[in-house]
Amino acid sequence: MSENYYDLIVIGGGSGGHAAAQRAGNGGLKVALVDGSEELGGLCILKGCMPSKTLIETADRARAMREAGEFAIAPHEPDVDIDALRARTQRLVGGFQEWREKSMRSGTYELVRGFAKFTGPNEILVSHGVGTMMADHFVVASGSEIFVPEIEGLSDTPYWTSDEVVELPSLPESVAVLGTGAIGMECAHLLEGLGAKVTVIARSTVLGEFDRDISEAMVAISRDREIEVLEQTSITKVSHEGGEFILICNGETRKFKALVVATGRKPLTDQLDLEKASVVTAKGRIVIDAGCRTSQPHIYAVGDCASPLPVVHLAVIQGEAAAKNILNKDCEARWEEDQTMLGIFTDPEVVKVGLSKSEAEERGIECVEAKYDFMDQGKGEIKDARHCFVKLLAAKKDGRILGGAAIGPEVVDSSHVIQMALHQEMTVAELLDVPFYHPTLIEIWTYVAEDLLDELSRE
């Protein structure tokens, strides 16, 4: 067998690709991971989760100082040391990156530096002088790239994307954030927390991937903090003069010191020449089944290039599932779309686990939903969690939990109890059999479960 022939080649060294290569290598396969990015580590470590959450932690603490009056403490405007914050972020990210790079270079797979593109169903060509590599199986984990909409004049201005935000070049006096999904709202709350005057601009509604009541709560909370929220607003032209961005919004002229374009990401697949391997895509996204197989059964895809929900933990689950299926053809490891989880680290946090009511009804599932406000719960009232609530959804037929959603303090952490309930296929009654400590924020899920059980008994 050729030296350049492998049992498995993984394309892309982010969280999903690393998980697939490591699992397959640990299983005894000859594995190569091909990654041509300038720095190893992947999006989460370098430009996503880790730097953004480091900055958000400081923003939340600064905001708490300004809002301390509710808790009988004299509020004051904190003096954020941007240089020190930038240094702390770089130090932490550097540590995360060092750990990942070490595991990639000393793992059970061969790390190959270069960009890959398919030349056939079992063959790729790798740049940087590597040449042709062949394999029985492939896992594509090429990730995603920032999507920037076409707006007149935008490309000629020094706008920021999330990549620049996490580097925190400066703290602008005023900033417009274009985009109101997870990235846009995290950027907005981050910059507001650090002391900027923020305007959020949405073509439709805020947090459109969530139910309308969560969107409305986020708008109310943002406006309470004097974040300006403009829904149903389009930017038709952007220019930059005299250190200011000039935006034409619904025909009105608005001026800001900075502009953040946070309109999401798109699958990074164009450079792979997937058509030469007969791999089917839909709007750039690789089509996969529950076992992460593409239209070619020996080629798998995981993470942002294929997943309908581009989040790290799902990429890892998919990477490990793909490797398990390659190691054992009778394994049938799967990723469960109905059990996906999306968390947003605004203040307060937002989360969705499993199905929403509309999604369940689209699948023909008769269901019942209940909602409970944090201000009707002891710890929630102590936290002053205004506008915040949790929701829980169950099947009418057997009371099995189908999903949950929330906006409130620490709900991304606490919603893991609902993730566990989904994974174990628990009913509402079985969830209520689990003891919860009082007073805690997480016990609000038992309060809404009690209401949901009452609703089910009346059906």
CATH number of the domain that 450 lies in?
3.30.390.30
Indicate if the pLDDT at residue 308 is higher than 90: no
Judge residue 8's burial from the number of C-beta atoms within 10 Å of its C-beta, 0-12 exposed, 13-18 middle, 19 or more buried: buried
Tell me which residue has tokens 């929220």. Answer: 229
Cα–Cα distance, 133 to 127 (Å, whole number):
11
Q: Is residue 342 part of a domain?
A: no
Best CA proximity match to 166, nearest among 191, 200, 193, 196: 191
| 191 in the same domain as 50 | no
| 20 in the same domain as 125 | yes
Q: Is residue 138 part of a domain?
A: yes
Indicate if the pLDDT at residue 1 is higher than 70: no
Q: What is the dihedral of CA 333, 337, 339, 342, to 10 degrees?
A: 120
| 41 in the same domain as 172 | no
Hey, which residues does 113 pair with through a beta bridge?
35
Q: What is the dihedral of CA 164, 167, 170, 176, to 10 degrees?
A: 40
Cα–Cα distance, 64 to 78 (Å, whole number):
10
Q: Is residue 343 part of a domain?
A: no
Indicate if the pLDDT at residue 459 is higher than 80: no
112 pLDDT tier (thresholds 50, 70, 90): very high
For residues 375 and 386, is the Cβ–Cβ distance under 8 A?
yes
Single out the residue in 242, 263, 284 at which a domain terminates.
263
Q: Is residue 332 part of a domain?
A: yes
For residues 408 and 385, is the Cβ–Cβ distance under 8 A?
yes
Cα–Cα distance, 112 to 107 (Å, whole number):
13
Mean pLDDT of 230-257: 96
203 C-beta neighbours (distance < 10 Å), count = 16
Tell me which residue has tokens 């905001």. Answer: 63
| 130 in the same domain as 171 | no
Single out the residue in 213, 245, 263 at which a domain terminates.
263
Cα–Cα distance, 161 to 147 (Å, whole number):
9
Q: What is the H or E stretch that residue 90 is in? A: helix 82-105
Length of the chain: 459
Tell me which residue has tokens 């000629």. Answer: 156
Cα–Cα distance, 137 to 278 (Å, whole number):
14
| 272 in the same domain as 137 | yes
For residues 238 and 183, is the Cβ–Cβ distance under 8 A?
no
Sign of CA dihedral 434, 438, 440, 444: positive
Structural domain total, the chain: 3
- Say what the pLDDT of residue 2 is: 65
Q: What percentage of the chain has pLDDT greater than the value 70?
A: 99
Mean pLDDT of 54-79: 96
Indicate if the pLDDT at residue 452 is higher than 70: yes
Residue 199 belongs to a domain with what CATH number?
3.50.50.60
Cα–Cα distance, 113 to 132 (Å, whole number):
13
Q: What is the H or E stretch that residue 261 is in? A: strand 258-261
What Cα–Cα distance (Å) separates residue 45 from each residue in 13, 146, 211, 321, 452?
11, 16, 30, 22, 39
Q: Is residue 41 part of a domain?
A: yes
| 285 in the same domain as 215 | no
Single out the residue in 263, 290, 309 at which a domain terminates.
263
| 249 in the same domain as 369 | no
Cα–Cα distance, 93 to 81 (Å, whole number):
18
What's the pLDDT tens digit per position in 372-384? 999 999 999 999 9
Mean pLDDT of 1-14: 89
| 9 in the same domain as 139 | yes
Q: Which residues of 265-286 are buried (b: 16+ CB within 10 A; e: fewer)?
A: bbbbbeebbbeebebebeeebb
| 56 in the same domain as 175 | no
Q: Is residue 319 part of a domain?
A: yes
Q: Is residue 327 part of a domain?
A: yes
User: Which domain covers residue 120, as residue numbers?
Assistant: 5-145+266-337
- Say what the pLDDT of residue 107 is: 84
Indicate if the pLDDT at residue 233 is higher than 80: yes
Best CA proximity match to 1, nearest among 108, 96, 135, 131: 135
- Say what the pLDDT of residue 26 is: 96
| Cα-to-chain-centroid distance, residue 344 | 7
Cα–Cα distance, 66 to 246 (Å, whole number):
30
Q: Is residue 193 part of a domain?
A: yes
| 74 in the same domain as 52 | yes
Mean pLDDT of 161-185: 95
| 270 in the same domain as 212 | no
pTM, full prediction: 0.93
Indicate if the pLDDT at residue 76 is higher than 70: yes
- Say what the pLDDT of residue 4 is: 87
Q: Could you tell me the two tokens for 160?
A: 């920021």
| 227 in the same domain as 135 | no
Amino acid at 232: Q
337 C-beta neighbours (distance < 10 Å), count = 13
- Say what the pLDDT of residue 118 is: 98
Mean pLDDT of 347-370: 96
Best CA proximity match to 97, nearest among 141, 51, 31: 51
267 pLDDT tier (thresholds 50, 70, 90): very high
Best CA proximity match to 399, nearest among 447, 431, 436: 431
